[in-house]
Structure 1
């Protein structure tokens, strides 16, 4: 959690960056608010369509089953919104968040030069990585959705595990900017963060909870990107002796070396 605090303090001390960082998040917030409203309005119809076997059930069983389905559907939609909100906001504000992340690294003692791809290529890579991460997150989401129907466990343990899983994948999304600068493939990013699982969960889960507060995601987004950049510097530190633009590597090609998971 200290990385989130450090990130928020950094953007608070650089108010111009915080102000510009709110704009992409506001655009994404309006988009997601509209989509979630539509989901909520039609959730009852979706529940009836998904449970035709309960059409002949009497009260209160039909209402309980479909009410549970609606609750799980909205919870799943909210979780998916939290996960994808970050990725969509990063895509919308890619040039700004890239510059913000670079400034954070420079203020900490050096910034890797980056792979040197054009902007359209960076966006294409980000979209590809987004799909890869979301497919993995969706697999966990489906499993947790089904486990949510279990009595007691589905209403106690499963939501807690769900927040932890969401926090991990949110950390994956937020570290994308700094990881892409080091040209680390998405599968390697996942491996790195799995190796420091509690670091990733401890960073992402508080943000998941905070993002549930209206407008908190908009306000915290710049600080979250700054904090994620600082987190990446622990996983893939810049080598001070090599100068401000070199990254820790094998000394031959300047690319970031991936340390063994601790």
Structure 2
């Protein structure tokens, strides 16, 4: 199987594990539900007040004709809502992991225990480990915001905005997901977002084979409740596989820890 297929297979393993364990599905689904409600509520409020915001942001248009002033403010209101949707799509997983950090840490540890994977660490205590998780999640949310701010205006460029930019948006969002769901394994080893990115980049075909379908599935309403916990399990397996490659071994996720 090629590298891309191997990455997709890890997501499939995560889905299988989650569906056969109602407890893990519930633990992983509740934070995803909460973050979905928060994002939908935020976008709903923004949409409700988008007209007022557009008027407040365009005082210079007061002297324009009513038709042109109305067109400008409708376009701006739509752009504000569309930007919020884009931001929500690239930051959804990071927000979910931030809300449900302890739940997903438990899922990750249970996955390692059941599959006999080496859950090594650099010896820090639980409070520092939790802080690493919160810090990394906040960093990834910030990266998501900056990426959305960059991609959003490019979406209005003719041709480019309808072809290259959506593809870049999918790849960007997918890569953020890979950084997020592999976090529990890397954080215990003291490897922050920057080093995690470099390690994953060396195995990018395998990582994107996992992350792109995860990102696309997360765009389906309700499906996130199953996809996110499945991705956490798959991310643990992917992280161990990648780290096994980094150590120079023929590591296969799910093999006993002695093989790593």
Is TM more than 0.5 here?
A: yes
Report the alpha carbon displacement of residue 245 of structure 1 after superposing the two structures with TM: 6.2
Against the structure 1 CA distance between its residues 71 and 120, is the aligned structure 2 distance closer, same or farther, given a 3 Å change threshold?
Answer: farther
Report the alpha carbon displacement of residue 232 of structure 1 after superposing the two structures with TM: 0.6
Worse-superposed segment, 59-68 or 158-167: 59-68
With the length of structure 1 as denominator, give the TM-score of the two structures: 0.80
- The 3-state SS of whatever aligns with 1:236 is helix
1:29/1:218 contact within 8 Å kept:
no
- The 3-state SS of whatever aligns with 1:183 is coil
> Residue 121 of structure 2: which of 114, 119, 141 is its match?
114
Could you tell me how far apart the structure 1 residues matched to 2:58 and 2:172 are? 27
Could you tell me how far apart the structure 1 residues matched to 2:115 and 2:180 are? 22
Against the structure 1 CA distance between its residues 67 and 208, is the aligned structure 2 distance closer, same or farther, given a 3 Å change threshold?
Answer: farther
Considering fraction of residues, name the structure with more helix: 2
Against the structure 1 CA distance between its residues 209 and 18, is the aligned structure 2 distance closer, same or farther, given a 3 Å change threshold?
Answer: same
Could you tell me how far apart the structure 2 residues matched to 1:120 and 1:74 are? 38
1:72/1:148 contact within 8 Å kept:
no
With the length of structure 2 as denominator, give the TM-score of the two structures: 0.80
Report the alpha carbon displacement of residue 59 of structure 1 after superposing the two structures with TM: 7.2
> Residue 204 of structure 1: which of 203, 211, 214 is its match?
211
Worse-superposed segment, 205-214 or 57-66: 57-66
**Which consecutive residues of structure 2, in runs of 5 or more, have no partner in the other structure?**
1-7
Worse-superposed segment, 195-204 or 207-216: 195-204
Alignment partner, residue 99 of structure 1: 106
1:36 aligns with 2:54: no
1:167/1:207 contact within 8 Å kept:
yes
2:129/2:188 contact within 8 Å kept:
no
Alignment partner, residue 4 of structure 2: none
Could you tell me how far apart the structure 2 residues matched to 1:106 and 1:140 are? 36
1:1-34 CA deviation, whole Å, 9 max, x = no partner?
Answer: 2221111011122332222222222222222222
1:167/1:200 contact within 8 Å kept:
no
- The 3-state SS of whatever aligns with 1:113 is coil
Against the structure 1 CA distance between its residues 49 and 170, is the aligned structure 2 distance closer, same or farther, given a 3 Å change threshold?
Answer: farther
Report the alpha carbon displacement of residue 64 of structure 1 after superposing the two structures with TM: 4.9
- The 3-state SS of whatever aligns with 1:110 is coil
Alignment partner, residue 138 of structure 2: 131
1:114-140 CA deviation, whole Å, 9 max, x = no partner?
Answer: 344444322322222223223333332
> Residue 30 of structure 2: which of 23, 27, 45 is its match?
23
> Residue 13 of structure 1: which of 17, 20, 43 is its match?
20
Alignment partner, residue 196 of structure 2: 189
Could you tell me how far apart the structure 2 residues matched to 1:147 and 1:52 are? 25
1:46 aligns with 2:89: no
**Which consecutive residues of structure 1, in runs of 5 or more, have no partner in the other structure?**
249-262
1:113/1:246 contact within 8 Å kept:
no
Against the structure 1 CA distance between its residues 53 and 161, is the aligned structure 2 distance closer, same or farther, given a 3 Å change threshold?
Answer: farther
Could you tell me how far apart the structure 1 residues matched to 2:78 and 2:233 are? 34
